[in-house]
Amino acid sequence: MSELHATLSGIGVSAGVAVGPLVIVSPPLTAPPNEAPTTDAAAASQQVRDTLKAVADGLLAKAANADAHAKPILEAGAMMAGDPGLAGAIDTQLQTGKGITNAVAAAVDEYCAMFESLGGYMAERVTDLKDVRDRTVARLLGQAEPGVPSLTTPSILAAVDLAPAETATLSTETCLGIITSAGGPTSHTAILAAQLGIPAIVQAAGILDVPTGTTVALDGGVGEIIVDPSAEEQQMLQDRKARREKALAAGSGKGMTKDGHPIQLLANIGTAADARKAAVQDVEGVGLFRSEFLFLDRDTAPTVEEQTATYTEVFEAFGDRKVVIRTLDAGADKPLAFADLGHEENPALGRRGIRLGAVRTDLLDDQLQALANAQKATGANLWVMAPMIATRQEASWFAERVRGIGLPKVGVMIEVPAAALRSFDVLSEVDFASLGTNDLGQYTMAADRMQGELSALLDIWQPALLDIIFYACDGGAKTGHPVGVCGESGGDPLMALVLAGLGVSSLSMAPSKVRAVRTALALHDLAQCQQMAAAARASVGPKEAREVVLSMADPVLHDLL
Partner 1 sequence: MATREVAIGSSVGLHARPASIFVQAATATGVAVTIAKAGGNPVDARSILGVMALGAKNGEVVTLSADGDGADAALDSLVALLERDLDAE
| Residue partners of 53: CB distance under 8 A and separation at least 6 | 81, 82
Q: Is 406 in the site for partner 1 (CB under 8 A)?
A: no
Q: Please, which of residues 354-373 interact with partner 1 by CB under 8 A?
A: none
How many CB atoms within 10 Å of residue 272? 18
| Residue partners of 42: CB distance under 8 A and separation at least 6 | none
Report, in Å, the least distance between residue 342 CB and partner 1.
20
Full DSSP string of 330-378:
-BTTB--TTS-----S-GGGSS-THHHHHH-HHHHHHHHHHHHHHHHHH
Cα 517 to its chain centre, rounded Å, is 19
**From 43, 114, 250, 296, residue interacting with partner 1 (rule: CB under 8 A):** 114
Stretch touching partner 1 by CB under 8 A, among 115-123, 214-222, 243-251, 369-377 = 115-123
Cα 414 to its chain centre, rounded Å, is 19
Q: How far is CA 259 from each of CA 101, 525, 527, rounded to the nearest angstrom? A: 67, 5, 9
Return the number of the residue (298 or 478) whose C-beta is nearest partner 1: 298
Report, in Å, the least distance between residue 128 CB and partner 1.
10
Q: Is 296 in the site for partner 1 (CB under 8 A)?
A: no
Report, in Å, the least distance between residue 120 CB and partner 1.
10
CA distance linking residue 29 with residue 145, whole number of Å: 9
Q: Please, which of residues 92-111 interact with partner 1 by CB under 8 A?
A: 111
Residue type, 393: Q
**From 43, 64, 118, 249, residue interacting with partner 1 (rule: CB under 8 A):** 118
Catalytic residues: 188, 486
Beta strand segments in 102-180, E: 155-159, 175-180
Stretch touching partner 1 by CB under 8 A, among 60-68, 120-128, 485-493, 495-503 = 120-128
Number of residues that bind partner 1 (CB under 8 A): 21
DSSP character at residue 507 = E
CA distance linking residue 104 with residue 81, whole number of Å: 11
How many CB atoms within 10 Å of residue 404? 11
Report, in Å, the least distance between residue 79 CB and partner 1.
5
Return the number of the residue (33 or 84) whose C-beta is nearest partner 1: 84
Full DSSP string of 163-227:
-HHHHTT--TTTEEEEEESS--TTSHHHHHHHHHT--EEES-TTGGGSPTT-EEEEETTTTEEEE
Q: Are 314 and 275 in contact (CB under 8 A)?
A: yes
Q: What angle do CA 166, 167, 172 make, to 5 degrees?
A: 130
3-state secondary structure 14-37: ECCEEEEEEEECECCCCCCCCCCC
Report, in Å, the least distance between residue 296 CB and partner 1.
13
Report, in Å, the least distance between residue 299 CB and partner 1.
6
Return the number of the residue (56 or 388) whose C-beta is nearest partner 1: 56
Full DSSP string of 286-299:
EEEEE-GGGTSS-S
**From 76, 208, 418, 454, residue interacting with partner 1 (rule: CB under 8 A):** 76
Stretch touching partner 1 by CB under 8 A, among 116-124, 149-157, 199-207, 419-427 = 116-124
Stretch touching partner 1 by CB under 8 A, among 71-79, 196-204, 392-400, 477-485 = 71-79
Q: Is 249 in the site for partner 1 (CB under 8 A)?
A: no
Q: Please, which of residues 410-449 interact with partner 1 by CB under 8 A?
A: none
Q: How far is CA 235 from each of CA 137, 156, 555, rounded to the nearest angstrom? A: 43, 18, 20
**From 32, 37, 85, 379, residue interacting with partner 1 (rule: CB under 8 A):** 85
CA distance linking residue 106 with residue 89, whole number of Å: 9
Stretch touching partner 1 by CB under 8 A, among 112-120, 348-356, 413-421, 437-445 = 112-120
Strand partners, 382: 323
Residue 86 in 3-state DSSP?
helix
Report, in Å, the least distance between residue 298 CB and partner 1.
7
Stretch touching partner 1 by CB under 8 A, among 42-50, 217-225, 296-304, 444-452 = 296-304
Q: Is 133 in the site for partner 1 (CB under 8 A)?
A: no
**From 57, 67, 259, 299, residue interacting with partner 1 (rule: CB under 8 A):** 299
CA distance linking residue 29 with residue 228, whole number of Å: 29
Return the number of the residue (111 or 398) whose C-beta is nearest partner 1: 111
Q: Please, which of residues 152-171 interact with partner 1 by CB under 8 A?
A: none
**From 79, 309, 548, 556, residue interacting with partner 1 (rule: CB under 8 A):** 79
Strand order in the sheet with 11-14: 6-9, 224-227, 215-219, 17-24, 155-159, 175-180, 200-202, 11-14
Return the number of the residue (21 or 120) whose C-beta is nearest partner 1: 120
CA distance linking residue 146 with residue 139, whole number of Å: 9
**From 126, 129, 256, 283, residue interacting with partner 1 (rule: CB under 8 A):** 129
**From 27, 28, 60, 83, residue interacting with partner 1 (rule: CB under 8 A):** 83
Q: Is 383 in the site for partner 1 (CB under 8 A)?
A: no
CA distance linking residue 410 with residue 354, whole number of Å: 14
Q: Is 72 in the site for partner 1 (CB under 8 A)?
A: yes
How many CB atoms within 10 Å of residue 266? 29
Q: Is 206 in the site for partner 1 (CB under 8 A)?
A: no
Return the number of the residue (259 or 299) whose C-beta is nearest partner 1: 299
Q: Is 338 in the site for partner 1 (CB under 8 A)?
A: no
Stretch touching partner 1 by CB under 8 A, among 83-91, 95-103, 278-286, 442-450 = 83-91
Return the number of the residue (85 or 404) whose C-beta is nearest partner 1: 85
Q: Which residues bind partner 1 (CB under 8 A)?
A: 72, 75-76, 79-80, 83-86, 88, 111, 114-115, 118, 121-122, 125, 129, 298-300
